[in-house]
Amino acid sequence: MIFMLRLENEEMKLCFVVRCIALGTVSICVLASCSNGGAEEDAASFVALAKLPDITSDTSLDCKRNVNPIATEFGNNHDAVVLPGGDSSAYQWYMIISGPKKKHYGQLYGSNYPTDYPSSWTLIDDHYISTSTYEIDDGLTINNEFFVFEKGSIFHLDSELEAGSGKWEIVSQFPEDLDDVGVYFDGDTLHMFGEFGKLKGKPDGIAIGYYIADFVGAPKYFSNWRAKDNKLIDPNTNGSMVWGVGDPSLMYKDGLYYLIADIESYDSPYRVGLWVSEQIDRGYKFAGILLEAEEGTDSLLNYRVQDGEFLIFDETIYIFANWRDVDGDPGLQLPAFESKKTRVVGGYECNVVNVTQKVSEP
């Protein structure tokens, strides 16, 4: 919650504004001089700090949500990672969905014709282990070998995914300056995007940073890491630190790079925003909020949407993200999740659209 109090003493000709941001049970307040324009101008300037960046991209995506999630029987599903299959793989595409916090397993799915429909995915393993962590950030398939990235470590598998549960091994590290990363490989260079810095009181970065590394093959696979931009994506363009970002995913289509990332503030739960650029390493323009919660007690996403992951198949764009529900309706009793709250992974089918420049609202 963000609030403001104006303190004025006409006799002493003193005027101060106290501007506060609530961080759970603690509030951080800043004392500043009043503006010449009076209370209305003070309030307007403070509200402006909490606004999203202006929409400056002429291109965006229009996404239609599938009504049904990939699965409802596992509980606390989150952080989907999509991997192309290898030359001898049974499926063209695979998806690993992370699961319960203390058990470090998830589910492995396969598909030859992936879409946002749950029926297009086949459950292969309901206790799949790729790392010893709660989640995995992103993954790659290079030369029929598989890689996943999490908490500064790069995990590698040189067998088929179906037989890989518990067999992934750490082969290299990436800079811990970035967290909750997304990766893109162009054939020579690994491009890594991730949370940079920390938004006070929140598990997010204050910006999306950008690193690159060379692909060098076995045994380390990735080397010569270089920091390129600590604020490739900066949601706090108004000079405040009220927006946090993280969990990026990148795709390239028809000459443009599309980067999605979680975005939240102290009084605004997770949504997924979109930035678009003609170059992978610079010039990203905000295209607005792409995915967000939907009101209603019968909704599986009436609180927040986050952790988006791109997949392009047959020229169609799909995004998979996790949906959070807080009221327990429509009554799903998912295991490994407190109370009646639910978290599941669902899909969207998206189309490229043109948009006019406008100012976004918080």
**Whether 350 contacts 116, CB under 8 Å:** no
Q: Give the pLDDT score at 44.
A: 42
Q: Give the pLDDT score at 238.
A: 74
Q: Give the pLDDT score at 275.
A: 98
Q: Give the pLDDT score at 18.
A: 60
Q: Give the pLDDT score at 46.
A: 45
Residue/partner pairs of 185-193 with CB below 8 Å, 24 or more apart = 185/140, 185/142, 185/215, 186/280, 188/214, 188/215, 189/213, 189/214, 189/215, 190/140, 190/214, 190/215, 190/222, 191/250, 191/280, 191/281, 192/149, 193/232, 193/233, 193/248, 193/250, 193/259, 193/261
Q: How far apart are CA 252 and CA 177, in angstroms?
A: 25
Which region, left, alpha or beta, applies to residue 149 given φ > 0 means left and ψ of -120 to 50 means alpha?
beta
pLDDT beneath 50, residues of the chain: 1-2, 6, 23-26, 39-48, 330-331, 336, 357-362
Using alpha carbons, select from 220, 211, 218 the residue that is nearest to residue 175. Answer: 211
Query: Can you spell out the DSSP letters for 43-95?
Result: HHHHHHHTSPPPB--SEEEEEEE-SS-S-SSSSS-EEEEEEE--TT-SSSEEE
Using alpha carbons, select from 292, 301, 294 the residue that is nearest to residue 332. Answer: 301
Q: How far apart are CA 43 and CA 328, in angstroms?
A: 37
Q: Give the pLDDT score at 5.
A: 53
- Beta carbons within 10 angstroms of residue 357's beta carbon: 10
CATH fold label, 59-354: Tachylectin-2; Chain A (2.115.10)
**Whether 104 contacts 129, CB under 8 Å:** yes
Residue by residue, what is the 3-state secondary structure of 208-226? EEEEEEEEEECCCEEEEEE
Q: Give the pLDDT score at 289.
A: 96
pTM for this predicted structure: 0.85
> Mean pLDDT, the chain, as a whole number?
86
Q: Give the pLDDT score at 342.
A: 76
Q: Give the pLDDT score at 134.
A: 85
Q: What are the structural domain ranges in the chain?
A: 2-49, 59-354
Amino acid sitting at position 115 = T
Q: Give the pLDDT score at 321.
A: 98
Q: How far apart are CA 87 and CA 122, in angstroms?
A: 19
The contacts of residue 25 (CB under 8 Å, 6+ apart) are none
